[in-house]
């Protein structure tokens, strides 16, 4: 069965067996694009307990990744943030301040700093990534048209600082791996070229694993997980499945709207 913690472990084990090295977002550098690298990222949108489960699995496998927490109560859970950091993982800020401020850039930059300091009380944060905020018309990255995240001590924002034409970006958004179903704003900001992911078409996690085994996948990869989508509980598995089946068509329409706004 897909999207279980058992399958999650199998996916990482398959990468490791093929000689891939895992790094956090902070550890990734420009000279790694030609190496067999997995940049391991997690967006903790909700149900942080699931993120602790994936963090434990990764710790047992001897790998570490980056966990991006939102500031909202569905995500910001101090004991779990501390627990995941104690397992050797990086903690980052999954910001959505422009959406929370209803497009008010001045207010958004103030709350960004306030929220970032809350995270820095728990972990020395050096990377941040936008939350897609699919129900909002505001793209949270647009606040950086006027301000610089580097002035707040953030050294890396993946959508600005990682070249998705040289790195294969795979995400479980929408409970599939194509990135085309429920992926509202997951796209690099700078490049006009097609991302490397446009050359691949995976539906299930097993598709990804088979490609790894056959050496039919890129060397440099970013895996972006939403741990709340993964569970070994049968009832919760079907609940998540049904909810996602309802959400994906809606998010597809929002995706079209978001792309139009970016092109305006």
pTM of the full predicted structure? 0.90
Give Cβ neighbours of residue 21 (< 8 Å, ≥ 6 apart). 35, 36, 37, 38
Please report which confidence band the pLDDT of residue 181 belongs to, taking 50, 70 and 90 as the band edges: very low
Longest dimension (CA), the chain: 50
Helix (H, G, I), strand (E, B), or coil: what is residue 46?
Answer: coil
pLDDT tens per residue, range 12-61? 999 999 999 999 999 999 999 999 999 999 999 999 999 999 999 999 99
DSSP classification of residue 134: T
Tokens 């422009």 correspond to what residue?
A: 98
Is the pLDDT confidence value at 189 over 80?
no
Q: How far apart are CA 237 and CA 171, in angstroms?
A: 18
In DSSP terms, which residues pair with 261 in a beta bridge? none
Query: Token pair of 78, please?
Result: 């101090």
Report pLDDT for 94: 99
pLDDT tens per residue, range 220-242? 999 999 999 999 999 999 999 89
Q: How far apart are CA 38 and CA 48, in angstroms?
A: 22
Q: At CA 45, angle to CA 188 and CA 223, rounded to 5? A: 45
List the domains of the chain with CATH numbers.
5-263 (3.20.20)
């Amino acid at each position: 069965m897909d999207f279980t913690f058992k399958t999650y472990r199998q996916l990482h084990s398959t990468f490791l067996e093929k000689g891939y090295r895992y790094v956090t977002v902070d550890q990734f550098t420009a000279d790694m694009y030609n190496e067999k690298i997995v940049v391991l990222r997690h967006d903790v949108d909700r149900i942080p307990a699931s993120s602790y489960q994936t963090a434990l699995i990764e710790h047992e496998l001897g790998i570490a990744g980056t966990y991006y927490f939102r500031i909202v109560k569905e995500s910001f859970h101090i004991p779990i943030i501390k627990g995941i950091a104690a397992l050797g993982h990086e903690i980052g800020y999954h910001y959505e301040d422009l959406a929370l401020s209803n497009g008010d850039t001045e207010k958004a930059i103030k709350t960004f700093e306030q929220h970032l300091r809350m995270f820095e009380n728990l972990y020395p944060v050096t990377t941040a990534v936008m939350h897609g905020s699919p129900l909002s018309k505001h793209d949270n990255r647009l606040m950086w048209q006027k301000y610089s995240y580097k002035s707040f001590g953030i050294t890396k924002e993946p959508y600005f600082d990682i070249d998705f034409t040289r790195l294969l970006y795979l995400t479980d958004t929408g409970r599939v791996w194509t990135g085309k179903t429920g992926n509202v704003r997951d796209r690099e900001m700078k490049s006009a070229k097609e991302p490397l992911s446009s050359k691949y078409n995976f539906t299930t996690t097993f598709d990804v694993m088979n490609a790894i085994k056959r050496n039919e996948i890129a060397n440099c990869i970013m895996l972006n997980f939403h741990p709340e989508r993964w569970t070994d509980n049968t009832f919760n598995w079907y609940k998540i499945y049904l909810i996602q089946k309802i959400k994906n068509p809606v998010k597809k329409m929002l995706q079209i709207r978001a792309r139009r706004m970016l092109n305006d």
